[in-house]
């Protein structure tokens, strides 16, 4: 018996509430019993994530309040953090919609990594996770909530968003074989997609290629332009600087992801967790971060 067969046998017994002889099963597979237990436990956790994700895809998260689209002051910008659909945090979009009305934001920017692309990543994907087709289908289903709450807006393309194009490129496919990103995710025509946007003199970009605790501020210093970005889930801040001639600021928005889903399994052993918040920029010159509660 191989280790894989031993894990599958233990999983089947556990899921059917039948007793497991760990020592006997481990001996047949040539593995230590505790190591076998650990691998089965991790597989069970991933299966639980997978089943829960399927349920969420079939039934959209119930909002705390059934908000309608809001038209506010176009000079006030709501910044929605990385979503990584279909692995976003339940209730996060409703929280963002509440902040839109509270701060009278008439412009909406989703700061990138709208979808995750775990199944088609160049890195190893979870063998017990969703297939490519299933993950894309669930992304489309869950994004309908975003389009409903925010009928128009801007989305900066993040490194996870461009995974589709990267995989096509590495496979030798011409761009002529591909749909536009907005078509793939079935976005409404009122949403615009680009690597960055200049809105009110400020740069909104995902931040691909920039990392570290003060990534957004370092990017702002390099470009000498006020910068709003996401990308770095575990760091969020607003930082100002002045040289006596001009002022400069940067806002690094957190995200709206659920760290407990299998797509973020890699981060469970790390000390830092994702910062859940959204941002607003009032009158194009006052950046504010609002923590998710």
User: Are residues 231 and 121 located together in one domain of the fold?
Assistant: yes
pLDDT, residue 31, reads 85
Separation between Cα atoms, residue 76 and residue 279, nearest integer Å:
11
- Examine the domain organization and report whether 53 and 83 are in the same domain: no
Q: Is residue 116 scored above 80 in pLDDT?
A: yes
Residue 64 inside a domain? The answer is no
Looking at residue 267, its pLDDT comes to 79
Higher pLDDT, 61 or 95: 95
pLDDT attached to residue 90: 93
Q: What is the pLDDT of residue 59?
A: 46
Co-location of 157 and 104 in the same domain? yes
Q: Tell me, yes or no, whether 26 and 164 share the same domain.
A: no
Mean pLDDT of 225-230: 97
Q: Is the pLDDT higher at 219 or at 268?
A: 219
Q: 49 and 164: one domain?
A: no
The answer to whether position 112 is within a domain reads yes
Q: Mark whether 45 and 116 lie in a shared domain.
A: no
Q: Is residue 68 part of a domain?
A: no
Instruction: Give me the number of domains the chain comprises.
Output: 2
Most confident of 51-55, 100-104, 121-125: 100-104
15-19, 95-99, 258-262: segment of lowest average pLDDT? 15-19
CATH number at residue 133: 3.60.21.10
Asked which of 33, 58, 83 is the last residue of a domain, the reply is 58
Q: Are residues 30 and 86 in the same domain?
A: no
pLDDT averaged over every residue in the chain: 88
Encode pLDDT of 126-157 as tens digits.
Answer: 888 889 999 999 999 999 999 999 999 999 99
Q: Residue 55: pLDDT above 60?
A: no
pLDDT at residue 51 in the model: 54
Higher per-residue confidence, 16 vs 51 = 16
Structural domain contains residue 63 = no
Mean pLDDT of 171-194: 92
Which domain does 16 fall in, by range? 3-58
Q: Does any domain span residue 67?
A: no
Q: Which of 1-5, 66-70, 193-197 has maximum average pLDDT? A: 193-197
Per-residue pLDDT, 36: 80
202 contact partners, CB below 8 Å, separation of at least 6: 225, 226, 227, 228, 281, 284
Q: How confident is the model at residue 204 (pLDDT cuts 50, 70, 90)?
A: very high
32 and 118 fall within a common domain: no
The answer to whether residue 66 sits within a structural domain is: no
Average pLDDT over residues 208-234: 94
């Amino acid at each position: 018996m191989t280790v894989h067969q031993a894990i599958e046998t233990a999983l089947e017994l556990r899921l059917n509430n039948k007793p497991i002889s760990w020592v006997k099963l481990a001996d047949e597979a040539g593995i230590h019993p505790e190591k076998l237990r650990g691998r089965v436990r991790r597989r069970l956790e991933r299966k639980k994530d997978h089943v829960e994700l399927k349920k969420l895809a079939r039934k959209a998260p119930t909002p705390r309040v059934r908000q309608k689209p809001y038209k506010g002051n176009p000079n006030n910008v709501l910044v929605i953090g990385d979503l990584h659909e279909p692995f976003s945090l339940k209730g996060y979009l409703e929280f963002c919609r509440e902040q839109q009305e509270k701060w009278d934001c008439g412009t909406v920017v989703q700061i990138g990594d709208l979808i995750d692309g775990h199944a088609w990543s160049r890195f190893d994907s979870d063998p017990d996770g969703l297939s490519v087709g299933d993950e894309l289908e669930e992304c489309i289903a869950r994004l309908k909530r975003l389009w409903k709450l925010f009928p128009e807006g801007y989305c900066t393309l993040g490194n996870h968003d461009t995974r589709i194009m990267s995989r096509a490129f590495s496979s030798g496919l011409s761009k002529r074989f591909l749909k536009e990103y907005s078509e793939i995710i079935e976005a409404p025509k009122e949403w615009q997609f680009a690597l960055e946007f200049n809105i009110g003199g400020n740069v909104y970009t995902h931040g691909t290629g920039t990392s570290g605790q003060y990534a957004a501020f370092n990017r702002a210093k390099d470009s000498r332009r006020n910068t709003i970005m996401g990308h770095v889930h575990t760091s969020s801040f607003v930082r100002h600087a002045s040289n006596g001639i001009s002022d400069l600021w940067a806002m690094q928005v957190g995200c709206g992801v659920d760290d407990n889903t299998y797509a973020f399994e890699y981060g469970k052993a790390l000390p830092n967790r994702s910062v859940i918040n959204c941002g607003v920029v009032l009158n194009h010159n006052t950046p504010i971060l609002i923590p998710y509660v």
